[in-house]
Structures are given as structure tokens and as C-alpha cells.
């Protein structure tokens, strides 16, 4: 195959980004073998868990590979290939002799698995393996080929080999791969691979066209749910001491998590903005959830969008979010304050110093949560940090440990006033607030909030930690997003078409370094 020549290099405003090699996560592995072979066994789920950083599981900077993982890859590939063999995936209608037929499979499947055309030497190497396996039959030969491809570093890692002489270019196949693992968490489809073969992913309009197409795919919705779970940190629904009121069972927890995912998707599809993320007063509920929240049930069974809900303020009032940030016995304003600071404002807080007894005050009659927590925060050593945390978390006090709205706490009136210190607000805006509704407005109007969202998207999309050299590209994104009113789907497109995403910082091979 003759590849078209690369177009003349673009002039970059900010330069490309650092680009460490990315390994497929277990989620990406499962999605990829599903899309390549129709595998639905979830073979990757049993693999060794990824290393975690900043709440995400795809950060290349913390990657580490050991024998357990390559053993997992081996037995995983064997299981996936065995399942494909059973389903007749390797039963090819061969019009030609077996060897040629196998060569076609190797080139075709290899292109999908390695996300680029195979070199002839690679085809030959896999043909030799096919012939060894074919001693036990044609299909077994193809099964061996498939097993090896699924263990190959060209499959397991997203390798972006450097062009001789450095430069910031990425091959069109690398761009196709970046797009598909950004938007779908899976391998490029035929349209993307064809576009890459034709070199038709080099310009911004070409990329935009594919992004628009890919955002209509269910795989995009899955990605949205996955990203927001990691960013906003909902979905960690632990046990509660008062399990019976309400029936805090697996079915309810699953519904709460679904509600959150569906809310996010609905927000994207309806053109929602960053502000809507915190102020939208709709949700997507089924009858069980409507009963749980004490709101009128949707007219039909299943999940339905329900508008004009009182006490609803976007992600901040999702049950899955509120219950994830509570203890098993109470609402816990400290946890809720910390998550707003760390995840939504990207402000890092030091943990309590050593030699301090850290404990949440237990619920007791005759005292509200606020009263009990204010006692512990009165300590001078603690208050330096807790003045940033507790007054934010107190704003959530009308929501109990399950995430339900409440009017009283231990039978006493609730004071949910708070203060969002150390955040840049529009001139003249007081940082004091009452309740989640006003807190949500402050977040929506803050300078740090939208910037934090960009940071979190970039961590997830680039699969690495951010650093000073990314600042130029981040500022450029912010300018264009501010002009576009921070429409959520617009941010996805803006990232996909950014210099940071479509280019890489020049790097040298070890041999070039030594010259």
C-alpha cells in the first residue's frame, strides 16, 4: 500500500503535547475486543487493575507492567480467541488456498487490531505462526494469530512511533486512534481507518466531521458516563447504617447511578453548558427513583426526563453524588466540601497534619450536623483548612446521607448557609451563599470551575498529568470556550481539534539522542 505524503506541517500556536505511550485500560480492552471480534465476555475485567492518578485509571505516567499483567494478557487472549473460535469467527469462506486466505485475515484483522496497515515483515511473521497452528487445522491457525495479536504491544499500547528527525507530526492512523479512544474508548471503525489510509484526518474540518459523526454513537454516551463518574466522583455507593429507610439495596443504587449517567447524556444532547451542569432543574428518573426522592412519578415505566423539579441543582443534587460523599450514618459536610474543592475546583487541600486525631463527630440527638462539625472545626490548627472546606459542605445540609432532600436534621431546623472563599467570582459577587442553589450559581460563575472542567477533560483525554507546557493550549481552549458560552459538547470538539490533541511535542529516539 502506498500512503499519501503528509501535508505540509501546520504552524502551531502552542506546540503539541507530551505524548507518553498509553496502554489500553481494562474498559478499553473490553470495548476493543467487542468491536473487533464481537466478544461480549468482558475478558479484560479480570485483569490486574490499573494504577490510579487524579481519580483516573488511564494516566500513562503511573503505568507499570509486571508478570501478573502479561499473564492476564496471555490467558485473556486465549479466552477471547477460544470464544471467537466457538462462534465461528475463524470459519472463513476461503475461495483461495489456505495460506493466502490466512494472509488476508492477518492483513485485515491486523489492520483493525494494530490500528494501521501491517508491514510485510509483520504479515510474514504472523503467517509463520499461522502455519504452526494450522497443523491442528485452519481455524486453529487463525486462532493462534489472533491470540498473538491480542498480546502484541501494537495492540495493548497505543504506540506512536517517532518520525525520523523529530517534529511534532502524528501519523493519520495515530490521529484516528486518538479520536476513537477519546470519544469511544475503543478502536477506530472502518470509516476512521479508511480516512487514515487516505490521509484525510489532517485538517480541523476533517477531524470535526468525524467528531460530529462519532458523537451520535452509543459508545460516546458510555464514554461520557465513564468520564463524569471519574471526574465528579459519583457512583461509589457504600453501605448505610440505616439500610431500611429507604431500602438501600443494589437495585436502588444501580438506578441512582443510571440516573446520573443519563442526566449527563441528556445535558450534552440538549446543548447544556457548564452552568447547566450545576443549575439544571431536571433529571432522568424511573418510578423507583421518583418514590425515593418523593417527587411525582413519570407517566410511563422506565427512565424519563422530568423537568421543573424543585431542590434540583444539576450534578450537585444527584443522589449518586450526594450519597457517595457521606458516611454510613450522616451527611458529612467535610467530605462534600472536599469534593467540591478537589474535583470541581481542582484546588488541592493538604490532609490533616500528623499527630492530630481525625474523627467525624458521631450523630447525636439534640444537635444538628452543623453544630457537631463546628465544634471540631473550632480548633485553631484545623480551622486554617477547614474554613475552606466546611462552609462549602454546610451548603449541602438539606440533603441527607442517602441524597434525599430534608427540611430538618435531628428534628431541628437546618442552617445551610455557607461561604465559598478563595474562589474568583465576578466583581461585586459576595462569596456567602444559602444552600445548594446559590452555591451552584457561584460555581457556575467562578473562574476556577470551568477551567477545572477543562483540566479534568484533558487529563482524561490525553491520558497523562498536565504540566506547565500545556498552559498555552489550555488558555487557547478557554478563550474559544468562553466565546462559545462553555457549551459542553463544544468542549469535546474543541479538544479534539486542538493542537495539543492533534500533535505531539518533538522527541528523539535514544539513537538520535546519542548522536
Residues at the contact surface with another protein, assessed by CB under 8 A: 20-21, 45-46, 48-53, 57, 61-71, 74-75, 125-126, 129, 132-133, 136, 144, 147-148, 151-154, 157, 159, 161-162, 236-239, 241, 324, 327-328, 348, 350-351, 353-360, 465, 507-511, 513
303, 284 Cβ separation under 8 angstroms: yes
> Of 432, 431, 353, 433, whose CA–CA distance to 386 is shortest?
353
Whichever of 102 and 306 has its CB closer to another protein, that residue is 102
Whichever of 121 and 413 has its CB closer to another protein, that residue is 121
Burial class from Cβ neighbours inside 10 Å (0-12, 13-18, 19+) for residue 299 reads exposed
Q: How far is the CB of 327 from another protein (least distance, A)?
A: 8
H runs (alpha helix) in 281-379: 287-293, 319-324, 333-339, 369-377
H runs (alpha helix) in 446-487: 448-462, 471-483
Whichever of 150 and 183 has its CB closer to another protein, that residue is 150
**Could you tell me the three cell numbers for 208?**
470535526
Tell me how far apart the alpha carbons of residues 112 and 146 are, in angstroms, rounded to a whole number: 11
188, 169 Cβ separation under 8 angstroms: no
Q: How far is the CB of 161 from another protein (least distance, A)?
A: 4
Whichever of 366 and 510 has its CB closer to another protein, that residue is 510
Q: How far is the CB of 486 from another protein (least distance, A)?
A: 27
Whichever of 469 and 480 has its CB closer to another protein, that residue is 469
What element of type H or E holds 284? strand 283-285
At a CB cut-off of 8 Å and minimum separation 6, what does 11 contact? Answer: none
Q: How far is the CB of 286 from another protein (least distance, A)?
A: 23
Whichever of 235 and 450 has its CB closer to another protein, that residue is 235
113 CB neighbour count, 10 Å cutoff: 23
Whichever of 67 and 216 has its CB closer to another protein, that residue is 67
Whichever of 38 and 353 has its CB closer to another protein, that residue is 353
Q: How far apart are the first and last CA of the chain?
A: 32
Residue with cell 490499573: 50
> Of 433, 456, 460, 414, whose CA–CA distance to 277 is shortest?
456
**Could you tell me the three cell numbers for 51?**
494504577
Q: How far is the CB of 229 from another protein (least distance, A)?
A: 11
Whichever of 239 and 308 has its CB closer to another protein, that residue is 239
Burial class from Cβ neighbours inside 10 Å (0-12, 13-18, 19+) for residue 51 reads middle
Residue with cell 453501605: 239
Q: How far is the CB of 459 from another protein (least distance, A)?
A: 13
269, 232 Cβ separation under 8 angstroms: no
Q: How far is the CB of 360 from another protein (least distance, A)?
A: 7
Q: How far is the CB of 152 from another protein (least distance, A)?
A: 6
Whichever of 248 and 268 has its CB closer to another protein, that residue is 248
Burial class from Cβ neighbours inside 10 Å (0-12, 13-18, 19+) for residue 290 reads middle
Q: How far is the CB of 241 from another protein (least distance, A)?
A: 7
Whichever of 119 and 432 has its CB closer to another protein, that residue is 119
Kindly give the interhelix angle for 120-133 and 98-114, rounded to the nearest 10 degrees: 120
Calculate the alpha carbon distances from 415 to 153, 400, 409 in Å. 57, 14, 10
Q: How far is the CB of 60 from another protein (least distance, A)?
A: 8
Q: How far is the CB of 385 from another protein (least distance, A)?
A: 10
Calculate the alpha carbon distances from 402 to 13, 171, 177, 326, 329 in Å. 48, 49, 41, 8, 9
Nearest-5° angle of CA 217, CA 221, CA 222? 110
Amino acid at each position: 500500500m502506498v500512503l499519501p505524503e503528509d501535508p505540509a506541517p501546520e504552524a502551531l500556536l502552542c506546540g503539541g503535547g507530551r505524548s507518553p505511550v498509553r496502554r489500553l485500560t481494562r474498559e478499553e480492552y473490553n470495548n476493543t475486543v467487542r468491536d473487533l471480534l464481537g466478544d461480549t465476555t468482558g475478558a479484560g475485567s479480570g485483569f490486574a487493575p490499573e494504577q490510579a492518578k487524579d481519580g483516573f485509571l488511564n494516566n500513562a505516567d503511573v503505568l507499570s507492567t509486571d508478570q501478573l499483567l502479561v499473564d492476564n494478557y496471555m490467558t485473556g487472549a486465549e479466552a477471547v480467541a477460544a470464544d471467537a473460535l466457538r462462534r465461528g469467527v475463524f470459519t472463513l469462506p476461503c475461495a483461495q488456498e489456505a495460506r493466502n486466505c490466512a494472509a488476508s485475515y492477518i492483513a485485515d484483522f491486523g489492520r483493525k487490531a494494530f490500528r494501521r496497515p501491517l508491514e510485510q515483515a509483520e504479515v510474514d511473521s504472523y503467517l509463520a505462526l499461522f502455519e504452526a497452528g494450522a497443523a491442528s487445522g485452519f481455524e486453529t491457525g487463525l486462532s493462534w494469530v489472533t491470540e498473538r495479536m491480542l498480546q502484541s504491544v501494537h495492540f495493548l499500547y497505543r504506540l506512536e512511533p517517532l518520525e525520523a528527525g523529530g517534529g511534532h507530526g502524528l501519523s493519520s492512523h495515530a490521529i484516528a486512534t486518538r479520536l476513537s479512544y477519546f470519544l469511544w474508548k475503543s478502536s477506530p471503525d472502518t470509516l476512521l481507518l479508511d480516512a487514515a489510509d487516505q490521509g484525510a484526518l489532517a485538517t480541523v474540518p476533517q477531524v470535526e466531521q468525524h467528531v460530529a459523526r462519532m458523537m451520535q454513537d452509543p459508545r460516546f454516551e458510555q464514554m461520557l458516563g465513564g468520564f463524569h463518574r471519574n471526574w465528579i466522583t459519583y457512583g461509589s455507593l457504600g453501605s448505610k447504617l440505616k439500610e431500611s429507610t429507604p431500602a438501600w439495596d443494589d437495585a436502588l443504587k444501580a438506578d441512582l447511578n443510571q440516573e446520573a449517567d443519563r442526566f449527563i447524556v441528556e445535558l450534552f444532547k440538549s446543548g447544556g453548558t457548564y452552568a447547566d451542569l450545576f443549575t439544571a432543574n431536571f433529571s432522568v428518573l424511573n418510578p423507583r427513583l421518583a418514590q425515593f426522592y418523593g417527587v411525582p412519578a413519570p407517566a410511563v415505566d422506565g427512565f424519563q426526563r422530568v423537568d421543573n423539579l424543585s431542590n434540583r441543582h444539576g450534578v450537585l443534587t444527584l443522589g449518586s453524588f450526594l450519597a457517595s460523599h457521606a458516611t454510613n450514618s450522616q451527611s458529612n459536610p467535610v467530605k462534600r466540601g472536599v469534593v467540591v474543592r478537589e474535583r470541581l475546583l481542582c484546588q488541592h487541600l493538604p490532609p490533616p497534619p500528623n499527630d492530630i486525631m481525625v474523627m467525624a463527630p458521631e450523630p447525636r440527638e439534640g444537635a444538628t450536623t452543623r453544630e457537631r462539625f463546628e465544634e471540631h472545626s473550632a480548633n485553631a490548627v484545623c480551622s486554617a483548612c477547614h474554613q475552606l472546606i466546611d462552609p462549602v459542605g454546610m451548603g449541602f445540609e438539606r440533603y441527607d446521607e442517602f441524597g434525599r432532600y430534608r427540611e430538618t436534621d435531628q428534628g431541628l431546623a437546618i442552617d445551610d448557609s455557607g461561604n465559598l472563599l478563595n474562589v474568583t467570582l465576578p466583581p461585586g459577587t459576595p462569596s456567602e451563599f444559602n444552600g445548594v442553589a446559590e452555591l451552584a450559581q457561584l460555581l457556575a460563575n467562578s473562574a476556577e470551575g470551568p477551567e477545572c472542567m477543562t483540566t479534568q477533560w484533558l487529563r482524561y483525554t490525553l491520558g497523562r498529568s498536565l504540566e506547565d507546557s500545556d498552559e498555552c493550549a489550555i488558555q487557547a481552549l478557554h478563550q474559544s470556550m468562553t466565546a462559545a458560552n462553555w457549551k459542553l459538547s463544544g468542549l469535546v470538539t474543541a479538544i479534539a481539534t486542538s493542537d495539543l490533541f492533534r500533535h505531539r511535542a518533538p522527541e528523539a529516539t535514544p539513537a538520535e539522542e546519542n548522536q
